[in-house]
Amino acid sequence: MLTPALNNAAVAGKVRATIQNTRSWLPRFDRIGDLVAYMDRFQGTADTEVYKGLKSVGLKTFEDIHDEFMAKFGKFASERTRLDDFVVGQRYTSSQLVIFAELYDNRSGGILLIGNPPKPQAVFVKATFSGGKYPNKWISEPDRLKYYLKSRNAVFSETYIENAAIIKNPDLPVFVFHRLEERQPFTFAGQFRAERVVSEADGSKWFDLVQSSVISPTNRVDEGELRRTFAQKVANAVQTSREARLNRLKSAPKRPPTVATTAIAYLRNPDVVAEVLYRSQGVCEGCGMNAPFDRKSDGSPYLEVHHKMHLSEGGEDTVENAIAICPNCHRREHFGTRTWQ
């Protein structure tokens, strides 16, 4: 349906460009329900230039196939991406975010409203930390962000729909997606809240976005991200003055809050582990010392099987890429100087 239109010289160039754009979006849908929502838009739009352009040369349009499409796929309409499908620490393309916001246009700007103004369900902000006159940046990574209001020609009006939605709904969850440079995918940093709007002398304005809390039950956190974030927070805590730290400790909760996590795990080959343990004969392949103790379960020497090139780096789960090492050598390999890679 799209190809004949693209190949038909009688179809105006502008119309063909729109169709080309539409075709480029179709493969980017992750769930049928999202595609159904997209197709649903081509209902009652018969007065558009594209519709008339295609009709005038006798071609079919999205409007024409709408009913047939819905008869086939409408039953999957509920199979859609949801807000709580977004996992902290995972990466998302700009297209995925724009599809979720039902905008289908990568030039829609950095603030995407989810649901209808003036009372949207949430807002997505896309932060790029380089380029532009007003680069967004962490005030403290990863829980406080300086994020410029939507602007047009250097006017940061609080009445622009996107800005107003955030300002007028102080409890609106602000989903922060960030990346270092253009063209990279975004990493989801979690749900934030706009604490205040700060006006600068040059007329620019920015939101002070503060992370709501990782304990929100709908905020599922990726385990790797949780580990990295915690390491970052420890580094920050080490750097603050001891006095400030002791003060914080005084009023800190004694029982830590919990959070639901998600993780991607590798389904490792047990034969690789068994074979590498056999090869080691109970001697650490790192330092050459005997295993430090025997396993309570079966009395075998306790060594850990490690991948020289980590699986997360694309390393293979093979006997050749694996070694049996003692817990000390294993920790050093991950947190100290690496012997293998």
CB of 266 to Zn ion, least distance (A): 11
Angstrom CA distances, 108 to 95, 102, 104, 157, 285, stand at 11, 11, 8, 17, 55
Contact 174, 123 (CB under 8 A): yes
CB of 216 to Zn ion, least distance (A): 32
Q: Could you tell me how far CA 203 lies from the centroid of its own chain?
A: 32
Place of tokens 């949430």: 122
Cα separation of 37 and 74, whole Å? 9
Cβ neighbour number for residue 99 with a 10 Å cutoff: 21
CB of 15 to Zn ion, least distance (A): 57
Nearer to Zn ion, 178 or 306 (CB): 306
CB of 287 to Zn ion, least distance (A): 3
Contact 29, 35 (CB under 8 A): yes
CB of 284 to Zn ion, least distance (A): 3
CB of 296 to Zn ion, least distance (A): 20
314: left (phi over 0), alpha (psi -120 to 50) or beta: left
Nearer to Zn ion, 102 or 317 (CB): 317
CB of 291 to Zn ion, least distance (A): 9
Nearer to Zn ion, 150 or 306 (CB): 306
In the complex, which residues of this chain contact Zn ion (CB under 5 A)? 284, 286-287, 306, 326, 329
Nearer to Zn ion, 214 or 326 (CB): 326
Alpha helix (H) residue ranges in 136-259: 161-168, 223-239, 242-250
Q: Could you tell me how far CA 83 lies from the centroid of its own chain?
A: 12
Nearer to Zn ion, 153 or 341 (CB): 341
Place of tokens 């490792």: 268
Nearer to Zn ion, 205 or 306 (CB): 306
CB of 317 to Zn ion, least distance (A): 12
What's the number of CA atoms in the CB half-sphere (13 Å) around residue 131?
A: 7
Segment (H or E) for 22: helix 13-25
Nearer to Zn ion, 161 or 264 (CB): 264
DSSP 323: E
Dihedral of CA atoms 312, 315, 317, 323 in degrees, nearest 10, equals -100
Nearer to Zn ion, 172 or 329 (CB): 329
